Structure 1
Amino acid sequence: KRQALYACSTCTPPGAEPAGICLACSYECHGTHRLFELYTKRNFRCDCGNSKFKNLQCKLLPEKGKVNSGNKYNDNFYGLYCTCKRPYPDPEDEIPDEMIQCIVCEDWFHGRHLGAVPPESGDFHEMVCQACMNHCHFLWAYASQLAVSKKASDIPPLTKANSLEDEGIVLKVEESEEQKKEIKKESGVEHQDTKEEKQLEQFNEPSTSSGYYSKFLPKFLVEIAETTSEFSFCKLKELQRKPFVKKDTATFWPSNWRSKLCTCEDCLKMYSELEVQFLTDECDTVLAYENKGTSDQETERRDPLMDTLNSMNRVQQVELICEYNDLKTELTDYLRRFADEGTVVKREDIQHFFEEFQSRKRRRTNRMQYYCS
């Protein structure tokens, strides 16, 4: 879903069609070119060697389509970012500022160009820029409930116990339930209220699956009714009934906010029309992409040799260890030549090595003599 991307200003200078290349092609096909990193993009296919590159053929996958119609491009592919359309780092910008990526358009923005002061970097996980908030207008209904704003600790605390009274502000103190009962008992209405509460409970009971319906309808019909009700309920419409404010600013969101978005049929249709279906996919986040990379690295750290050895007897273990050590020594020496020469190891080089290794192994086996005792 995501991959690290680069743009090659040598092959696609300003004025040419924008194009992006993958990490592998940045080494193999553009190793001596001027590249700049685009970080990650979703649902992007490498352009190396297609019609955007006039005189270059991809060395890793020579037969490519002329164009990747699903790719989306912006000024980042020319090394320009934010609403100010400046490079990063910008030699003319003396103001230290953090760049933040919008998770909708995937452009990068200076913190001071977002229309709002960003919270501390550890307080939010994703940002939606001003333009994308206008495009995804439905997000404002969620922002009032989910978006991250400045910490409460940033608001100056009250220093005097009577400071509210001094300002003429009156706070309404709610009575506790026990206090209400005491008042009712003194006024002689507790018995009447208790009777009304019981009647209200009996009235509400048929709306539950364990009440009225469970007595007169088969269980599976109740489950179907509950399921249908769950899917037809729209969280967005519920939030839109409450007052919320639209601003001309970016918004900042916590790590789990995507799971709170409504997935009813109407909302899914709206996401599709706005081309933001990925918002409900928590695997689309940059954090998920980074965590997957960490998980893959941990899997690679497991030693497959030890797993295999544990399933063998003593003689087989000794033979395998000897074979493994021979392979490791010869492969290290073979790869060191490429490192010293600064050349890239290709698939054919690896195939050639193992063919030679197997040939040497057969010659050694044929020279061995066996004796009976």
Structure 2
Amino acid sequence: MATDNGTASPVHGAESIITACGYLSEQAALEREAAEVLSGKFDECTFDKGYVNQPLYACLTCTQPPAKYQSNASEPEPEQPPSEPAGMCYSCSIECHAGHNVIELFTKRSFCCDCGTQRLLPRSQPDSSNNNRCCQLKKLRTALAETENSKNKYNHNFWGFYCRCDKFYDVNVESGIMIQCFVCNDWFHDECIGKIPEEDEYTDHICRDCTAKYSALRLINSDKAIYGRIFEGKVVELESSSVAAAVSLPADLSDSDEPARKKARPDMCRRRRDTEAVDARQPFDMFMADGWKEHICTCIECMREIEKDGLMFLLKEEEVVEPEEDDTRTESLYESALRQLQSMDRSQAVDAAAAYHSLSSKLKEYLRPFAVSGAVVTGQDIRAFFDNQKNLDDNTISS
């Protein structure tokens, strides 16, 4: 197609055409999606808070998964990253690992951010300085390269794998329901667990691996637990009465509405355990009813077991450190720009308005031939305009 002055006008496929209204609508949708996914502020690392319960993320660009997991990792690079698992806080996943292959690990217990430490030095770009390999948010960040968070615990989740089936979790592919173990924080597919109680019958799940590993978990008040019998790897039967029936309670230590941990610690156990009955149920999953932690026995014997197994968190109210809500995330780019303009002093506002007027005039001149010829303006045309303006600005600065 030719214009009135004989010059060729751009020919665009229908799929490349975008109207002004369509562009604004698409931009608004992207902004809403970003606000939902990244709703919190990301200007502060949680490292100084120590070992806390927090949402975690892992970077498969900065850490090299073991050989068995490498098919799900990033493409191999000349400089191979370390093969140790590592986790980072919400803020570091954005500020220090933007553009990387970052996966969400959900909430983990008692974890200190690894970003910038011995385990997790962000990968530097070929043309960047070594300083960019440090955490961008931590204080004294260059001194952290030899630091190791020795109390952190890691598992296959840090490579993106979950459940005893060891399957890679892809949010775009996963269709089943996953249930988290309250103790180890791993997640399990409902189909891998087997038979599961109704949602209103339990609030927390404890996996069979944890009940086998920690003897203290077998001492929990059975009235608050539904036991899942295992056959050929899956729960096939749910029971809540057989073990409870085998447990007797001294008259002077009967249950009351007052939580056990608020009472004076008893010298004798609040429940006599039938060891043979409990052991006969191995392996088993546990599905805990609401308020189950309030009925954990705190006698001297049980406290020794709980402390030995490292389960003291069962007796505490757990808080999760969440990123502070960012109120500005609900603004559009246009609204944000207006707010920034209003907050400037007069001279800055005048300069900004003049720059906007200049850019607006140049854009009108650029679009005039399209208006004359009746040609469609595409996203590629707009990008070409701004790329050209950027090159002109760069040349002006360098000259």
- Go from structure 1 to structure 2 and tell me whether the alpha carbon gap of 1:79 and 1:72 turns closer, same or farther (over 3 Å shift): same
CA distance in 1 between counterparts of 2:196 and 2:221 reads: 14
AA matched with 2:292: W
Partner of 1:255: 290
The CA deviation at 1:121 is 2.9
Aligned to 2:11: none
Q: Which secondary structure state, in structure 1, belongs to the residue aligned with residue 209 of structure 2? A: helix
Classify 1:124/1:67 alpha carbon distance in 2 versus 1 (closer, same or farther; 3 Å): same
CA contact (8 A) 1:6 1:39 kept: yes
Cα shift at 1:142: 3.1
Higher strand share: 2
| TM-aligned CA distance change 1:106 to 1:241, over 3 Å | closer
| Aligned AA (2:185) | E
- State the partner residue of 1:232: 267
Distance 2:287 2:107 in 1: 19
SS in 2 for 1:39: strand
The offset of 1:274, in angstroms, is 1.1
For 1:67, the equivalent position in structure 2 comes to 148
Is 1:269 aligned with 2:270? Answer: no
Asked if the contact 2:87/2:113 (under 8 Å) is kept, the reply is yes
Code of the residue aligned with 2:283 in structure 1: it is: D
Query: Segments of 4+ in structure 1 off by > 4 A?
Result: 90-93, 227-230, 241-245, 331-334
Distance 1:143 1:133, change over 3 A: farther
- 1-side partners of 2:301 and 2:160: how far apart? 38
Counterpart code for 1:89? D
Q: Please name the residue that 2:159 is paired with.
A: 78
> Which of structures 1 and 2 has the larger relative contact order (alpha carbons within 8 angstroms, sep 6+)?
2
Q: Higher helix share goes to which structure?
A: 1
Aligned residues: 227
List gaps (5 residues or longer) in structure 1: 151-206, 208-226, 301-325, 338-373
Matched with 1:350 is: none
Query: What percent of counterpart residues are identical?
Result: 32
Equivalent pair of 1:19/1:47 in contact (CA under 8 Å): yes
Q: Of 81, 92, 108, which aligns to 1:41?
A: 108
**2:97 matched to which residue of 1?**
30
TM-score using structure 2 length? 0.49
Which one has the largest radius of gyration? 1
2: CA distance between counterparts of 1:265 and 1:234? Answer: 8
The residue number in structure 2 matching 1:120 is 198
**Paired residues of 1:140 and 1:246 also in contact (CA < 8 A):** no
Q: What is the 5 A alignment of 1:1-373?
A: 1-15=52-66, 16-54=83-121, 55=123, 56-61=133-138, 62=141, 63-64=143-144, 66-89=147-170, 96-114=175-193, 116-142=194-220, 144-148=222-226, 231-235=266-270, 237-240=271-274, 246-281=281-316, 283-284=317-318, 289=320, 329-330=342-343
Q: Could you tell me how far 1:243 is from its partner in structure 2?
A: 5.3
TM superposition score normalised by structure 1: 0.52
Write the deviation string for residues 86-133 of structure 1: whole angstroms up to 9, x where unpaired. Answer: 01138887xx4211111111111111222x411223432111101101
Alpha carbons of structure 1 residues 331 and 112: separation in structure 2 relative to 1, 3 Å: farther
- Determine if contact 2:57/2:104 at 8 Å carries over to the other structure: yes
Kept in 2, the 8 Å contact 1:143–1:251? The answer is no
